[in-house]
Structures are given as structure tokens and as C-alpha cells.
Amino acid sequence: MPGWLKKHKNYREPCSFSDRVFQRARSVLFYLSLLLFFGGLPFILSFALGYKFNTHTLKFVKTGLIYIKTQPEGSSIYLDGKLVPEKSPASVQELLPGVYKITLALKKYYPWRSEVYVEAGKVSRIDKVILFPLRPDLEQLNQAGFSSFRVDNERGEIYYLDQVGRIVYKSSLDGSNFEDIASLPEKFSQINGWEVSADKTKMFIFGPHQISVIFFDDRNDYEYSDSFVYLDYPQERVIKVFWHTDSYHLIVLTNKHVAVVESRPLSKTVNLIELNKEASEAFYDNKRQVLYFSDNQKGPDGTSYNNLYKLELSPELYILERLMKKRGDE
């Protein structure tokens, strides 16, 4: 304390209060705290339990609450047409039990409307609302015409197939680096399906009786590779084709067989399974190298049953090669 202040006529030693004064101050504090506790507790507990104090009737009324969460956040909340001060995520509390009309509105988004039933002492949760934009952010990715496309998420690439111009394009996921990478063979008229190999160097297209493997141009110019591989199935109808994991073998499902064939000219098809059903379905699990397919089987009573089969192709690759070699020799 500066000396000049001590000398001031109005200066009083701050600790001139006796113990008794401090104890009295403490008593006042204590009783105030007690009052605050017992006065505030009923209100806190009633609020927690969902009660509302009605100032007109001077009674506690049990209420419910609505919890609202939207994506994106910040939507205005209208309850029975009245704007609530809070924005989502928010809880609208002290609502008397009953049905409420709720509108969630956010600029540039479609509003969300619904009716919510509020029960006394309970929470009605509206926490899975997605507000969709009025004008979604559209972005054109292709820079040329195309008939169908495939997205490769792992590599971040999109492949476009233009059946009219007979060109294959490729771009990044955002549409950048758009370039043509291959041309389609002239004689191929009807394309029922296509798929790019795992090594991204080639693709196949297939029609009812023919499969063609097209090698991508890797020289980054406009001279397309003209090396196509044609695999013909004049007696059978090709239903589905898959790339095997090695990006070399093709797994072919026809109306008669499950077969494998190498993606090279003059390769011979090996029929692994003979099918009873004409229109089998198939799915190839690339990671596990397993082919799932359906086929019919006749029971002793002559009734036909539809069965699902699983064909492991993983370690059998060399077996396949051996098998194919053996068949080739034959």
C-alpha cells in the first residue's frame, strides 16, 4: 500500500474487521448458499424431469421436448408455424404433450416438414434429417459423348465408352485429364457389357457371341493400338464376363458353361462347369477370387431346383493353366 494512501484521512486498515465480522460474513454466505440450493433445486430438478412452472396456475406441468439435428446444421425451426429462436441442432423444451407441426428451413435447401408427437417427460428425437440443396452442385465431367461409364475409386479414374464414336476415354474423378485411350473394333456391333482389367492396361467388351479384348494406348497420343483379341462363341450365348485377378484370364459365363479363357489371340476356352440353366446369374469376388453362380439341378423326382454354387479360383490359377494346357494338348 503506498504511503500517501495510508496518510489519507479516509484510509482505513483493510483488516480492521474482527474475526466476528468475518464469521458473520461467513454465516450470511452460508445461509445464502443454503437458500440458493434449496430454492434452486426444485427448479433444476423439475426442468430436468421435464416439468414447467405455469405462472398462471402456479403449478408444475409435465412437458416433453423435441431434439432436432439436421445435416447441414443451422436450419431454422418452425413449430406450429412459429419460429423458434434456436437453430438446429437444438432442443425445443417445455412443450405440452400433443402433436406439433415442424418445419425445418435453411436457405438454398428444400424445407423438411413433419408432424411430431410429444409425450410428457420424454424426448422426441428428429436427429436424422438431411436437407437437400435446391440446386445441387452439378459438374459435367465428360468432354466428349459416351454411352456408358465405369468409376474406379481405387485408382481415382473414370472410363467412358462411346459406342457411336467407338472410342474409350479416361479421366480423373473430377473430370480432369480427360483423354481417349482406345478405339473399339469396327466389327463389334452389339456391346452387352464391358470391364477394365485390374492392371488398367486393357478392357473387354462382349456381345452375344463374341468377346473382344482391347489394349489401351499407352503412348499418350492419338494413334490407337489396333491389336484386338477376338474370342468367338458361335454355339453359345455369352451372359457375363469377368476379369480374373491376374488381368490375363477371363471368366466367362455362357448359357451352357462356366468357362475360362486367356486374353490372347487363338486361345482355347476351358469349360469348367456345364450348366443346366440357360440364364444363370454370376458374381465374381475379385479379392477372394471366388465365382458365385446359380444353376438348376434336377432331383430324383424330376423337380428342378435352383442352387447357388461357389467356385474357388484363387490358388487354382496354375491348375487352370495346367488344365488348359492339357486340353490344348488334347
Partner 1 sequence: MNKPKIIKRAFEIMPGGLSWGIIILLILLSVKYPVASAVIIITFDFYWIIRTIYLTTLLILAHHRISCQKGEDWLRRCLSLRPEKGWTQLYQLIIFPVCNEGLEVLRPSLAALSKSHYPKEKFIVVMAFEERNPLARNNALVLDKEFSGEFGAYLSAFHPDNLPGESRTKGANATWAAKAAKKFIATRNIGCEHVVVSCFDADTCVEPEYFGCLSYHFLTSEKPHQASYQPMPVYNNNIWQAPSFARLVEISSSFCQMIESMRLEKFVTFSSHSMSFKTLVEVDYWPQNMISDDSVIYWKGFLHYNGDYRVVPLYITISMDVAYSSNIWRTMAVQYKQKRRWAWGVENFPFVACGFLDNKKIPLFTKLRRSFHLLESHVTWAIWAVILVLIGPLPIFFGGKFFSQMAIAYNLPKITGLLFQFTLFTSLTWIFLSWTILPPRPKGVSWLKNVILVLEWFFVPFIILVLGSSPALDAQSRLMFAKYMEFNPTLKGNKVL
Task: Write out the residues near partner 1 by the rule CB under 8 A.
Answer: 13-15, 19, 22-23, 25-26, 29-30, 33, 36-37, 40-41, 44-45, 47-50, 63-65, 67, 91, 93, 121-123
* In the complex, least distance from residue 93 CB atom to partner 1, rounded to whole angstroms: 8
- In the bound state with partner 1, the residue whose beta carbon lies nearer, of 87 and 122, is 122
Nearer to partner 1, 116 or 260 (CB): 116
Longest dimension (CA), the chain: 125
Q: Given the complex with partner 1, which of 4 and 222 has the nearer CB atom? A: 4
Q: Which is nearer to partner 1, 15 or 138 (CB)?
A: 15
Shortest distance in whole angstroms from residue 44 CB to partner 1: 6
> Which amino acid is it at 222?
Y
Residue type for position 136: P
Nearer to partner 1, 19 or 186 (CB): 19
Report, in Å, the least distance between residue 310 CB and partner 1. 39
How many whole angstroms separate alpha carbon 257 and alpha carbon 277?
9
Min CB(49)–partner 1 separation in Å:
5
Pairing between strand 304-312 and 167-172?
A: unpaired
**Can you name the residues that pair with 283 across neighbouring β-strands?**
292
What does the alpha-carbon distance between residue 308 and residue 292 come to, in Å, rounded to a whole number?
A: 7
Nearer CB in complex with partner 1: 61/323: 61
Q: How far is the CB of 24 from partner 1 (least distance, A)?
A: 12
From residue 159, alpha-carbon distances to 118, 119, 138, 196 in Å are 52, 54, 19, 8
Least gap, CB of 39 to partner 1 (angstroms): 10
The residue type at 159: Y
Tell me whether residue 34 or residue 319 sits nearer to partner 1 (CB atom).
Answer: 34
* CB closer to partner 1, 41 vs 130: 41
CB of 78 to partner 1, least distance (A): 21
Residue 75, SS3 per DSSP:
coil
- In the complex, least distance from residue 45 CB atom to partner 1, rounded to whole angstroms: 6
| Helix or strand (DSSP H, E) at 7 | helix 3-7
> Which 8-state DSSP code applies to residue 131?
P
Name the residue among 104, 109, 64 with its Cα closest to residue 83: 104
Residues 6+ apart with CB under 8 A from 58: none
Q: At closest approach, how far in Å is the CB of 22 from partner 1?
A: 6
Q: Residue 322: which residues within 8 A CB-CB, separation 6 or more? A: none
The 3-state secondary structure of 163-223, one letter per residue: CCCCEEEEEECCCCCCEEEEECCCCCCCCCEEEECCCCCEEEEECCCEEEEEECCCCCCCC
The residues, any chain, with a CB within 8 Å of residue 82's CB and separated by 6 or more, are none
